Amino acid sequence: MLKKYKIVLIGAGNLATQLGLTLHEKGFEILQVFSRTIESATALATRLNAVPTNDLAGLTDVADLYIYAVKDDALEKVINTVSVKNGIHIHTSGSVPMTVFASKQANYGVFYPLQTFKKEKRVNFEEIPIFVEASNLQTAENLQIIGEIVGKNIYQTTSEDRCLLHLSAVFACNFSNYLFTVAEKILQPTNIPFSALLPLIFESVEKLKTLTPQQSQTGPAARNDKKTIEKHLNLLAKEPQFQQLYQLLSDAILQNVNP
């Protein structure tokens, strides 16, 4: 019975909190919660009926699943400090290869929910895609089953594909957010607040539910409106970096729409 899997949760941050709460609600038994400070371990452990600990080397060895939900740059050190050898060991990182476990564990993998998390904001894992990877077929099956208990969209992926996923998210989220920063700066000399753009921004991402990004491309470059492009480039004369971005993105859209 997988629902009786006993879990040790390593980490008490944003993702650990949301994943822990969901696993607990779904009937999994959380034995221990580790955090560097006993205070933050206790804060989460109390909500999960679990025992808090700040002793990584002394974790219980009777759990079936060890979830490493710690920062990317701390992961390797944490893995090397854990002495437990049995059970399945998984991390939750988008960009760290599964093989980070290879020299220490026999059954290991990755369980990567693609979303940003906050401790205080409950999330619905059924709306979050989860990317799973495992060191062997049995572990892959187990992670798939756990994934399907927690969420709805489970993808078995390789570390290479997870890398490309992370890269694509940088374009889709981090870089598009930077363009919102540019938009805000362009509005600064006016009396128009950035919030006036929000309804249009929301509508433009809403369209992605029914159209591909290429289908929903609009704007001066998409309609090859050279007059407006020229006018915009002139408006950006004092911001060479924005001007360069405008030119590069417009050229790319032009080529993409009329390949």
Instruction: Collect all residues with Cβ–Cβ distance below 8 Å to 67 and sequence separation of at least 6.
Output: 7, 8, 9, 10, 11, 16, 19, 90, 91, 92, 111
* Residue 157, CA distances (Å) to 66, 89, 140, 144, 147 in order: 20, 17, 10, 11, 13
The reply on whether position 169 binds a second copy by CB under 8 A is yes
Q: Which is nearer to a second copy, 102 or 252 (CB)?
A: 252
According to CB under 8 A, which one of 14, 144, 182, 243 is a site residue for a second copy?
A: 182
Least Cβ distance, residue 79 to a second copy (angstroms):
18
Binding region for a second copy (CB under 8 A) out of 20-28, 76-84, 136-144, 214-222: 214-222
Instruction: Collect all residues with Cβ–Cβ distance below 8 Å to 140 and sequence separation of at least 6.
Output: 109, 132, 133, 134, 156
The reply on whether position 136 binds a second copy by CB under 8 A is no
- Is 33:53 a contact under the CB 8 Å cutoff? yes
The reply on whether position 10 binds a second copy by CB under 8 A is no
Q: Which two tokens stand for residue 93?
A: 């990182």
* Beta-bridge mates of residue 130: 113, 154
Q: Which is nearer to a second copy, 60 or 228 (CB)?
A: 228
Helix (DSSP H) and strand (DSSP E) numbers for the chain: 9, 8
DSSP state of 3: G
d(CA 52, CA 42): 5
Q: Which is nearer to a second copy, 66 or 242 (CB)?
A: 242
Binders of a second copy among 24-53, rule CB under 8 A?
Answer: none
Q: Which is nearer to a second copy, 55 or 161 (CB)?
A: 161
Q: Which is nearer to a second copy, 58 or 213 (CB)?
A: 213
According to CB under 8 A, which one of 6, 13, 201, 243 is a site residue for a second copy?
A: 201
- DSSP labels, 122-152: ---GGGS-EEEEESSHHHHHHHHHHHHHH-S
Collapsing DSSP to helix, strand or coil, 62 comes out as coil
Per-residue x/- marks for a second copy, 215-254, CB under 8 A? -xxxxxxx-----x--xx--xx----xx-xxx-xx--xx-
The reply on whether position 74 binds a second copy by CB under 8 A is no
Least Cβ distance, residue 211 to a second copy (angstroms):
10
Binding region for a second copy (CB under 8 A) out of 13-21, 31-39, 46-54, 122-130: 122-130
The reply on whether position 119 binds a second copy by CB under 8 A is no
- Is 165:155 a contact under the CB 8 Å cutoff? no
Binders of a second copy among 78-117, rule CB under 8 A?
Answer: 95, 114-116
